[in-house]
């Protein structure tokens, strides 16, 4: 058991019969009244983000978790299979547990959060950027450069990304996995 003095970003706590990760926190000591901690909590089961205020000194219940690097192997009809890079054990995660799965290609390394008490996976974190090959895009129209125009492009994993007009088929691009936005061309 811990108190609000132990709160930090990334800490996983048990709160309202769910597991939450603390994404932001702020200790507040108003001029009048007791101190408190304002937090943003992200549910590890639903992905919802909630705001919560804890009074200073209140007990919180941290959960011991471990981040392990896994390699994506393949997709099945009910989930995605990953292999632990150290022990070579394979686990299958439910499709709802993996955000941005349509940007995963075989061999991609992801971080999976494991609850050390139950040894069950909690969440899957994609790398911030992935490099993918454009498999299809319409040719850009020469001279159409007003307002930085964009066009849709299909990448090797089947996802559709919006890219600038100068990107052509068979080019490798870097994509932000959080926003599905084109970042840059990769040489």
Kindly tell me the sign of the dihedral angle through the C-alpha atoms of 160, 171, 101, 13: negative
Walk along the chain (187 residues) in steps of 10 and give the mean pLDDT of each run: 88 91 92 92 86 92 92 92 92 87 93 89 90 90 70 92 90 93 91
pLDDT at 146: 64
Do 120 and 76 lie in one domain? The reply is: yes
Name the region of 44 (left: φ>0; alpha: ψ -120 to 50; beta: rest). Answer: alpha
pLDDT at 118: 87
Do 37 and 70 lie in one domain? The reply is: no
pLDDT at 78: 86
Residue ending a domain, choose from 125, 152, 175: 125
In the chain, how many domains are there?
3
pLDDT at 175: 94
Two structure tokens written together for 147: 């307002």
- The CATH number linked to 166 is 2.40.50.140
Do 80 and 93 lie in one domain? The reply is: yes
User: What single DSSP character describes residue 103?
Assistant: G
Do 44 and 86 lie in one domain? The reply is: no
pLDDT at 22: 93
3-class state of residue 95 by DSSP: helix
Do 17 and 55 lie in one domain? The reply is: yes
pLDDT at 155: 94
Residue ending a domain, choose from 17, 47, 62: 62
Residue ending a domain, choose from 37, 62, 87: 62
CA dist., res. 148 & res. 130, Å (int)? 23
Q: Are 57 and 10 in contact (CB under 8 A)?
A: no
Q: Are 82 and 90 in contact (CB under 8 A)?
A: yes
CA dist., res. 112 & res. 126, Å (int)? 9
Do 108 and 72 lie in one domain? The reply is: yes
3-class state of residue 115 by DSSP: strand
- The CATH number linked to 57 is 2.30.30.30
pLDDT at 143: 64
pLDDT at 44: 83
Q: Are 24 and 52 in contact (CB under 8 A)?
A: no
State the residue range of the domain holding 149. Answer: 129-186
Do 8 and 58 lie in one domain? The reply is: yes
């Amino acid at each position: 058991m811990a108190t609000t003095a132990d709160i930090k970003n990334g800490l996983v706590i048990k709160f309202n019969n769910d597991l939450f990760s603390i994404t932001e926190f702020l200790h507040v000591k108003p001029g009048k009244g007791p101190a408190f901690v304002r937090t943003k909590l992200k549910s590890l089961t639903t992905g919802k983000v909630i705001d919560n205020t804890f009074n200073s000194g209140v007990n919180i219940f941290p959960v011991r978790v471990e981040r392990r690097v896994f390699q994506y192997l393949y997709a099945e009809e009910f989930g995605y299979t990953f292999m632990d890079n150290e022990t070579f054990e394979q686990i299958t995660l439910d499709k709802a547990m993996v955000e941005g799965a349509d940007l995963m290609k075989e061999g991609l390394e992801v971080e999976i959060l494991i609850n050390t008490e139950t040894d069950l996976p909690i969440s899957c974190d994609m790398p911030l950027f992935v490099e993918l090959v454009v498999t299809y895009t319409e040719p850009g129209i020469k001279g159409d450069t007003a307002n930085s125009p964009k066009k849709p492009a299909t990448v090797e994993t089947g996802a559709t990304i919006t890219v600038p007009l100068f990107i052509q088929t068979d080019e490798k691009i870097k994509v932000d996995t959080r926003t599905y936005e084109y970042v840059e061309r990769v040489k």
